[in-house]
Amino acid sequence: MCPTATIGLPVQPMSGCGPGPTPDCTARPPRALVWRGIDPDGAPGGWTTNQNVRVWRNVATGEPAAYCDGDFVAFTDEGMVADIQIQDGDVRPGDVLFDHGLAVATYTLLAGGIAGSTVVTKQGPGSLVVSNANTFTGGTQHREGIIFVDDKPMGTNPIEFTDTGDRKLYGTGTNPKVLNKLVFKTSRQVEISPGTSAQSLPITQGIQLDVNAELFLRGTILFESAITDGATGKSLKLSGAENAKVIITKDSGTFSGATTVELLHVTVQNPGKNPFGTGTVTFKRESTLTGPGNIDAPVVIDGGSLNPGPGMTIKELKINGGTSKLRIAEKLTITSSITIAGNPKLFPVKVVGAAPAAKIPLIDLPRNVMVKPGDFVDADGRPVNEDHVFKLIKDPMMPTVTQNYTITFKDGPDGNDVALIIKP
């Protein structure tokens, strides 16, 4: 009988755990093993089942050991080989722990997959690169460090962000995808990025909020699946690095929490009317909302920008403060209400190649709602009234070269709409 092994994995006292020839995996209970990646003679070996490839250390005895399905395995800084070749098909360990970050900064899963009811836990500041297809059903606990995903799944159940460590989810390769649902169980910020080789990272299986969650995004992230409530009324904060973008192509239905956006460009292309769910979405400092999508939830522009794309429809719009910006280049339809406070900045947009009197499409308003020219100021803080003169930069590369344009407010077809006409 070997002593009970304790490496953070749920194991029982074990017997028959000394080194030896090809193991009889039916004759002993599971053991706790630590990956070393080389055998006693110094030769590297892969992760194989029921073979005399003694590339593990038996935690209970300290001796080299061979792996059998059901063993509880850990990858730590003790490992001497960072590429984990899973050979001879799938392996079915008890549970798997990645806890590293000093001597071994990155472990990479290659070839075969991890199967069975295994739970995979990632902790420690190191990285785990998933370049193999896994079918395990126990889910992934992401506590600390970086998980890199290629275009293959990390098992069949969610990646759960637990604990309060520094956690990141990155793409690797040229066409990465997040093929697992992402479940947030702690409020500490999680960073998500396509990585250095891909143009974007699609999230394909949804985001579930069990707590108030915060995502820091890099590059272009595609929301191709819904945001859902794990617990009612939890909020989502989205912020980004320089030039970070989110493109939303999926309706989020009944997600009830509020969403706040900062330092991020959001394009809404959803086919439904709830890209952010039913809660209020607020665009704060240096954030932008654009796209042709429909938004039935209340939208607040509070230090951000609204740049409506073709056919954008918003049910309730509130524009706050002098740092908020409205850039009208396409028709914007408001179906219920619009509230303007604090004289937000109105930026007319010249239609390139249009006639000298180029018409900027309507702000299409309900009949009981009015917008007056004096509700807005220009970029210099001057009130926008009839025949207001704007000074626009002609060439971004030559910001001192400007040209004056005149903007005029006119009634639209139903008497309540506002058509903006600019003339050089």
Region for 318 from its dihedrals, namely left if φ exceeds 0, alpha if ψ lies in -120 to 50, beta otherwise = beta
The pairing of beta strand 159-161 with beta strand 281-283: unpaired
Give just the sign of the alpha carbon dihedral 349, 354, 359, 361.
negative
What distance in Å separates the CA atoms of residue 293 and residue 169, rounded to the nearest whole number? 28
Q: How far is CA 366 from CA 167, 203, 293, 390, 406, in A?
A: 46, 36, 19, 28, 26
Q: How many CB atoms are located within 10 Å of the residue 387 CB?
A: 10
Residues forming beta bridges with residue 149, ordered by sequence position: 130, 171
Q: How far is CA 79 from CA 37, 40, 44, 104, in A?
A: 6, 13, 11, 7
Q: What is the pLDDT of residue 368?
A: 54
Q: How many residues does the chain have?
A: 424
Longest dimension (CA), the chain: 92
Q: What is the pLDDT of residue 86?
A: 94
What distance in Å separates the CA atoms of residue 363 and residue 371, rounded to the nearest whole number? 9
- The answer to whether residues 257 and 229 touch, using CB atoms and an 8 Å cutoff, is yes
Give the pLDDT of the chain (424 residues) as one tens digit per residue: 333 334 444 433 333 343 445 677 888 899 999 999 998 888 889 999 878 889 999 999 999 999 999 999 999 999 999 999 998 889 999 999 999 998 889 999 999 999 999 999 999 999 999 999 999 999 999 999 999 999 999 999 999 999 888 999 999 999 999 999 999 999 999 999 999 999 999 999 999 999 999 999 999 999 999 999 999 889 999 999 999 999 999 888 779 999 999 999 999 998 788 899 999 999 999 999 999 989 999 999 999 999 888 888 898 989 887 788 887 666 777 888 778 777 777 765 544 433 333 344 456 565 555 555 556 666 666 666 555 555 544 555 665 655 555 555 554 455 444 545 444 4
Q: What is the pLDDT of residue 8?
A: 45
What distance in Å separates the CA atoms of residue 164 and residue 396, rounded to the nearest whole number? 43
Name residue 220's amino acid: T
> In terms of C-beta distances under 8 Å and separation of at least 24 residues, what long-range contacts does 88-92 make, across chains too?
88/48, 88/49, 88/51, 88/112, 90/114, 90/115, 90/116, 90/135, 91/47, 91/48, 91/49, 91/67, 91/115, 92/116, 92/118
Q: What is the pLDDT of residue 344?
A: 75
Which parts of 321-416 are beta strand (E)? Answer: 325-328, 332-341, 345-348, 358-364, 388-395, 398-411
What distance in Å separates the CA atoms of residue 415 and residue 366, rounded to the nearest whole number? 10
**What DSSP string runs through 17-60?**
-S--SS--TTSS---EEEE-SB-TTS-B--B-SSSS---EEETT
Q: What is the pLDDT of residue 217?
A: 98
Backbone angles phi, psi at 25, to 5 degrees: -70, -10
